[in-house]
Amino acid sequence: MTVVVKLGGSVVTDKSAPETVAEDVLADLAAAIGDADLSDLVVVHGAGSFGHPVAAEHGASSTAGTRDPAAVRDISGVMERLNDAVVGALADAGVPAVPVHPCSASHRTEDGTLQFPTDALEAMLGEGFVPVLHGDVITHAGEGATILSGDEIVTHVADDFDADRVGICSTVPGVFDEDGDVVPEITDYDDVAAALGESAATDVTGGMAAKVRALLDLGAPAFVFGPDALAAFLAGEDAGTRIEG
């Protein structure tokens, strides 16, 4: 059973302090992953207080590119440092984690289509490793380099591997409705459109609306949940909000 799980950048870092790992939280999440002992697991993590400030400083986003090689080095370098911390925490918890840096393995075509072969990830899984990917800066034909988000990596890998389950570990316990309560299940965007916003413009800035739209397009059940529910998700239980189109 292939499982793809994302550890949100706001979960594994302190977003109020630049380049600061939330060490205790990360250790707890790593322990939960270690205890689960899944055979085919891919981990993705976000950028948090590492990548976002540096990308903003250089004016780079998922749509705005940079041709400054120093910017690419800065963004890629800070994300590699965060990845080192995540991989290290997982290794300390007994997880056979290995780093995968999208900057060196993917690119976008001129129309923005992501090209990210997953053969190497498949080989890693076959040898018992747990690939750990992250949001990154990647070459974008005609734009220089743009940002590849962790959320896009999750859906790309899950789709390529025909994943059985997908989990998004966020700072919130699930997708909220208009009253601030967690929605137990979403099968259509209209279920939560009033709470998340109906316009495509909402997706441009990311956030929960973009996550829900992308996860609905997957053929696998996906879940959005808080850190306390990671163990339940890894055990095969429903956690937070179940999203399945």
One-letter amino acid at 212 equals V
Q: Which residue positions form the known binding site for ATP?
A: 6-10, 48, 207, 211
Q: Which residue positions form the known binding site?
A: 6-10, 47-48, 52, 150, 207, 211
Residues 202, 25: Cα–Cα separation, whole Å: 29
Q: Which residue positions form the known binding site for substrate?
A: 47, 52, 150
* 2-243 classified as CATH 3.40.1160.10: yes
Q: Is the pLDDT of residue 167 over 90?
A: yes
pLDDT tens per residue across span 191-226: 898 888 654 433 333 578 888 988 999 989 999 999
pTM of the model: 0.94
pLDDT tens per residue across span 80-106: 999 999 999 999 999 999 999 999 999
To the nearest whole percent, how much of the chain has pLDDT over 70?
96
pLDDT at position 206 is 58
pLDDT tens per residue across span 114-157: 999 999 999 999 999 999 999 999 999 999 999 999 999 999 99
* Sign of the four-CA dihedral 172, 175, 177, 182: negative
pLDDT at position 16 is 87
Residues 239, 245: Cα–Cα separation, whole Å: 17
Where along the chain do its domains lie? Answer: 2-243
Residues 126, 96: Cα–Cα separation, whole Å: 12
pLDDT at position 240 is 97
Instruction: Yes or no: say if 150 and 45 are a contact pair by the CB < 8 Å rule.
Output: yes
pLDDT at position 59 is 94
Structure tokens at 127: 């040898």
